Amino acid sequence: MATALARTAFRSVTFLKDDTQICDNKVITSHYTKLNFVPKNLMEQFSRPANLYFLFLCGLQMIPSVSTTGQIPTIALPLVFIIMLNGLKDLVEDYRRHKSDREENERITLSVEGSGEGARLTNTRWQEVRVGRMIVVTQNEFIPADMVLLSSAHEEGHCSIETANLDGETNLKTKNVPTAAFELVGECKDRNVAAKKASAIQGKIECELPNEFLYSFAGNITATGRSGQQKISLNEEHVLLRGCKLKNVAWVLGVVIYTGKESKIMMNSKEGKGRKLSHLDRQVSHMTAVIFGIQNLLCAIAAIISAIFETSPDNLQKKYLNLTNESGQAENAFVILVVRFFNFMILFSNFIPISLLVCMSIVKFLQVFFLWADADMQHQGLHCMPRTSDLNDELGQVEYVFSDKTGTLTCNIMDFRRFCVNGLCYGQGMTEIKRQVNIKMGKAVEDAPPPLPDSKRTPHVDLVDPAIDRLMESKTGKQYTAVRDFMLHLAINHEVVPEIDDGTGKIRNYSASSPDEAALCYGAQHFGYSFQNRDSSGVTIEVDGSMIRVQILATIKFNSARKRSSVIAKFTIPGEKERLVLYTKGADSIIMDRLAPEHKDSPETQQNLRILESFAEDGLRTLCLASRELTQEETDAWLKRWNEAQLATEKREEKQDAVSEGLEVNLTMNGITGIEDRLQEGVSDTIVKITRGGIKVWMLTGDKIETAVNIGVATGLLEAHEGVKGPRPVLTAKDYEDAKGDFQPDKLSTKLKDFAEHARMTAERGKMFEAMVIDGKCLETALEPTNTADFLAIGRVCRTVVCCRVSPKQKGAVVRLIKESEKVITLAIGDGANDCNMIQSADVGVGIRGLEGLQAFNVCDYGISQFRFLRLLLLVHGRWCYRRVAILANYMFYKNIVLVLPQYFLGCVSGFSGQKLYNDVLYQSYNVFFTFLPIMVFGVLDQDVSKKASLRYPELYTAGHQKMYMNRQVFVRWMVRGLWHALAVFFVPYCTMANGNITHSDGKANDIWLVGTVIFLLVCTVSNLTVLVETFYFHWLVHVGILLSALAWFMVQGYVSGLHGSVVNSELYGSTQRILGCPMVLLVIFVSCSSSVLIDIHLKGFECCFFPNILHHVQARVLTDMHSAPKRVK
């Protein structure tokens, strides 16, 4: 992992000297200020091509020579509405940010003013804290800035913090004052005394430059105290980060090193490279470009015809056409061409729907409310938490799901179930996963062993075995000694923090960053080796009623590269001599390489490994424990090198790893642990259903192959009997090792090519592989550029792929490879920090709010609390949202074609003179008032089938894979539909009412404005009826939307036509009365609507009868089920 530890530039911070050259501690997360909101928001909104396009049209409308609106920018009405709507949304969001910033910056902390005996504590606002200042934080307060600890109210100089605001984890973490720094200040119970002592120290901190890495820090303190100048090493254990809460100690004192935007929490709060954009949004952008091209083409054709018409000698002779200028000459053809082109650009301005983007945004925003409110997706009071609305439709088109195992498919509630020492296994009974596997394989299932009478009950321990109870009671023998060492290892080598009950003083529970570590501590406690306390110098454990102080001389932490953790412990068991021991625990492959040669091949070790394999086959999480007795001389020499590495200002982490490598050798195996993590409820049913929906599920886990395969069988991901549904290639590193045990990637590459060729032949026959199982070492080779084509060829024909022993980086690489190579929509789901890479790499990231903190939950797009909710998220809500948004997007283009093409048809019969057909107020209100509500209600509420039917027939989900509602063919069909409706709504009224035809009893001819008003009414009516034709779920809001749209037309039309008695628009004055008072006009409206909508209904019926799709088949089954269901007796 790349960190900032290798930086050559460091920051220098002097005690009690405010560094004004560095940013202050004021936090600003808001985007706007009072002064720049209007210009900045307008600039951002008009940076969008659509808004810029409509602004350009507004400008055209004000140019006298090309304006068709009397130089009045009528497009400004809907444009201003859209801009104000978006601006209001931005204003509300930014107001909340301002309010949050103000509350944060005005908080109060204590800072040290003066030095030595003159030092005092004063209240200081957070925003006034500067780098170099000493501050005091009291219990249950939040840390105001990143600070290095110098003193604590605890006698050992440590404190506990809660990092929920930082990484989402609620368990407590221990931080320590550097031992040498604590000695400089001395033990202080009073914070005022500590402030005086600390401020008397002349000190300077050298630390790395600000960076976003939460779990690493490198620096040194150079301090001058009573004993002279000394250099003190600093690491992440000595730093408190802004946003953390102080717990379990009255106060701490420290020096500020990073403030404001340079603090680590703010560095991690920076906006990413950009929001994820759904594939459907990209398609809409392409469709908009196509429509814009068609618009320009139609404008060009109209302009050319108009220029030819107006410069034709025959037409010039017709004086009534008024085609010549004042001198009797024809206008220049090119000038006419340009003017007419822009005339028609204005007339056809609604060809591109101005409300498209805002409609899609509002619909998606409202859709997420129903995701949140779905009671079937709630668990223990936790709702589904959509963190974006942009990807709702993406949820309905997912083709690959990449899932973590622990905490995702399993509960992540760890129980200490079995362990093995010297080849003897302790712990009876069948695990839950093994039980599920046996059921699927048709094998016998054992009953759980009953607990022994008067047996001890310990949280997170489910181990029943009379043999271990007898052994621990005997307290004699070689095996007892080995088990005792094993338990001591469990109780000492960890980073668990005990939470003490204030009332009883007893341990309430163990808090750990990993549930595995806590379970191991509980396991040791169960057998009488109870971890009691932790401080800066070591831990205290209770053994057989005696408290034993264990001094921890060094801790070598676990990381993804080392895959192990170690401690050097010094302690004395009563009645025995002092011991100095190196304890190391980690993955079996790592520990085996570090065993002493005489132990590596011993019968006990080999038996341990066989039992480890059986643990893995039972679905247990395994860990190897090993140790080595050290001499004082060896320890002192190593600690000297370790301290030098810790004081390094360059490449500290690499130097520490190099030093630790020399110590963790010649180990003796203590034993193996088996931790059980049970499957979540409904996992198997969820996987079966989403695979029936055409989704491929890949499992990416850090577990051993045997464990992963058994989990796969238990969840239904893999078949119980290999080969039933095709081959299952298994690629493990040990199968491609030479005689020396070295991995041979060339052999694997050759095997990959063989499997890939077999896969291609299988695909040609229309068959598939059952699965592919591959471990991390082989995956590393498979992901090399020369092998990716073969890896993809195999994965393409596999129903599932199980990747074991993979790192977080490999998880992300697999997701990116499939997404970019296969051009499919991917979803990644996980619950821990190690899943963040793949969650952010996938098109859609789903985080499970689990026990490994909220890291995955915080970076995801959609958060859920159980894996089983994924079926509802995809098969129900995702599919509904995709269909709704796709139809909405097509409809928005369709309804504007119905609106604009009659204007074009008028040009066809009028020489493209540029004459308007519609009143400008009505025309520009079309998208905003008359056709807005029905499609919005459809986009939020419509259901083609019910939730129950969606889950019963998951095959419906394949519609998203086929792009059934949004593709070129569907788009063309919607455009043709719009063309037909435009023909019907124009030519029926035109042929009936225009050209001198008399439709009213008063014998007066109809002018163009009356005909245009009738056509506009038909456009609104047919467009809204089309929504009804597409609707399956007739919620009462659907009818309300239609009625309100009709009422909106009547109110606006009535106003501009003077129903209230005054003249608003002379063109339309009295038109409402003439339209509604004439039976012939009402008949025209009925015929136009019928010829438009009935054709659609008949075409849908024809498709359903002769070319049914998956939806038609499912709807038929649902209707059959409804009719065949027994009727209730009243």
Q: What is the 3-state secondary structure (H, E, C) of 445-497?
A: CCCCCCCCCCCCCCCCECCCCHHHHHHHHHCCCHHHHHHHHHHHHHHHCCCCE
**Higher local confidence (pLDDT), 923 or 327:** 923
DSSP letter for 528, please.
T
Give the Cα separation of 207 and 220 in Å (integer). Answer: 6
* Other CB atoms within 10 Å distance of the CB of residue 1032: 13
pLDDT at 162 over 70: yes
pLDDT at 674 over 90: yes
The answer on pLDDT for 569 being more than 90 is yes
Taking the model in full, what pTM does it have? 0.81
Q: Calculate the CA 804 to chain-centre distance.
A: 23
272 pLDDT exceeds 50? no
Is residue 710 very low, low, confident or very high in pLDDT (cuts 50, 70, 90)? Answer: confident
DSSP state of 926: I
- pLDDT tens sequence across 608-622: 999 999 998 888 889
C-alpha 1050/C-alpha 1017 separation (Å) is 9
Check residue 1128 and report its DSSP letter. Answer: P
525-544 pLDDT per residue, tens: 999 999 998 877 789 999 98
Between residues 753 and 186, the one the model is more confident about: 753
Q: How far is CA 794 from CA 718, 731, 761, 798, 818, in A?
A: 16, 12, 11, 7, 12
Q: Which residues are catalytic?
A: 404
Q: Is the pLDDT of residue 1065 over 70?
A: no
Residue 624 to residues 148, 518, 590, Cα–Cα distance (Å): 35, 16, 9
Averaged pLDDT score across all residues of the chain: 87
**Tokens 């890291």 label which residue?**
855
Question: How confident is the model at residue 853, as a pLDDT?
Answer: 57
Question: pLDDT tens-digit profile of 510-519?
Answer: 887 778 889 9
Number of other CB atoms surrounding residue 777 within 10 Å: 21
Q: Is the pLDDT of residue 4 over 50?
A: no
Q: What is the arithmetic mean of pLDDT over 310-319?
A: 75
pLDDT tens track for 69-105: 777 887 887 788 888 888 887 888 788 888 888 988 9
1104, containing H or E segment: helix 1079-1106
Residue 422: pLDDT band by 50, 70, 90 thresholds? very high
On the 0-12 / 13-18 / 19+ scale of CB atoms within 10 A, 290 is middle
Indicate the residue type of 498. Answer: P
What are the backbone angles phi and psi of residue 819, rounded to the nearest 5°? -65, -45
Could you tell me the sign of the dihedral formed by the alpha carbons of 421, 427, 430, 431, in that order? negative
The pair phi, psi for residue 1058, each rounded to 5°, is 80, 30
Q: Which residue has the tokens 């492959």?
A: 589
| Mean pLDDT comparison of 181-190, 584-593, 948-957, highest-scoring range | 948-957
Which pLDDT score is estimated for 1004? 79
pLDDT at 672: 95
Task: Give all strands of the β-sheet with 245-247 in edge-to-edge order.
Answer: 172-176, 158-162, 245-247
> Which helix (H) or strand (E) segment is 547 a member of?
strand 546-556
Q: What is the pLDDT of residue 578?
A: 92
Cα pseudo-dihedral 1042, 1045, 1051, 1057, rounded to 10: -110
Looking at residue 7, what is its pLDDT? 42
| Interatomic CA distance for residues 866 and 410, integer angstroms | 9
Over the Cα atoms of the chain, what is R_g? 37
Residue 396, classed as helix, strand or coil, is: helix
pLDDT at 12 over 50: yes
Between CA 117 and CA 92 the distance in angstroms is 50
pLDDT digits (tens, 9 = 90+) for 1029-1045: 999 999 999 999 999 99
List b or e across 494-524, with b for residues whose CB sees 16 or more CB atoms inside 10 angstroms: bbbbbeeeeeeeebeebbbbbbbbbbbbbbb
Indicate the pLDDT class of residue 1060, thresholds 50, 70 and 90.
low
pLDDT class for 833, splitting at 50, 70, 90?
Answer: confident
45, HSE (Cβ side, Cα atoms, 13 Å): 23
The answer to whether residue 1087 scores a pLDDT higher than 90 is yes
Which parts of 641-739 are beta strand (E)?
668-679, 696-700, 730-731
Taking CB atoms within 8 Å and a gap of at least 24, the contacts of 989-997 are 989/1014, 989/1015, 989/1018, 989/1084, 989/1088, 990/905, 990/909, 990/1015, 992/1080, 992/1084, 993/1081, 993/1084
- Of the pLDDT bands very low, low, confident and very high (cuts 50, 70, 90), residue 1062 is low
For 437-471, write each residue's pLDDT tens digit: 888 777 877 777 777 667 788 999 999 899 999 99
| Rounded mean pLDDT, 966-995 | 92
Residue 1 clears pLDDT 50, i.e. is over it: no
Residue 5, pLDDT score:
37
Q: What is the mean pLDDT of residues 987-1008?
A: 82
* pLDDT value of residue 269: 65
Judge whether residue 271 has pLDDT over 60.
no
User: For the chain, what percentages of helix, strand and coil (3-state, to nearest 5) are there?
Assistant: 50, 20, 35
In the three-class reduction of DSSP (H, G, I as helix; E, B as strand; rest coil), residue 1089 is classed as helix
Percentage of the chain modeled with pLDDT above 70: 94
Would you state the pLDDT for residue 328?
Answer: 65
Distance CA 923, CA 1056 (A): 12
Place of tokens 């101005």: 354
Mean pLDDT of 916-925: 85
Eight-state DSSP code of residue 998: -
Alpha helices in 878-1032 (DSSP H): 879-908, 920-925, 933-941, 947-952, 958-961, 968-993, 1008-1030
The rounded distance, in Å, linking the Cα atoms of 583 and 488 is 9
Structure tokens at 472: 């621990």
- Number of continuous H segments (helices) and E segments (strands) in the chain: 40, 33
Q: Do the beta carbons of residue 548 and residue 540 sit within 8 Å?
A: yes
Residue 739 reports pLDDT greater than 80 = no
Beta-carbon count within 10 A of 408 CB: 28
Say if CB 495 and CB 513 are below 8 A apart. yes
Q: Average pLDDT in the 241-256 region?
A: 91
Looking at residue 243, its pLDDT comes to 87
d(CA 687, CA 719): 13
Calpha distance 939→1037 (Å, rounded): 12
Distances (CA, A) of 230 to 14, 115, 152: 15, 20, 20
**Which residue carries 């040990």 as its tokens?**
734
DSSP H helices, 1031-1067, are: 1036-1056
Write the CB contacts of 738 (distance below 8 Å, at least 6 apart in sequence). Answer: 744
Q: How many Cα atoms occupy the beta-carbon half-sphere of 449 within 13 Å? A: 15
* pLDDT score at 344: 86
The sign of the dihedral angle between the CA atoms of 191, 195, 197, 203 is positive
Separation of alpha carbons 565 and 663, rounded Å: 12
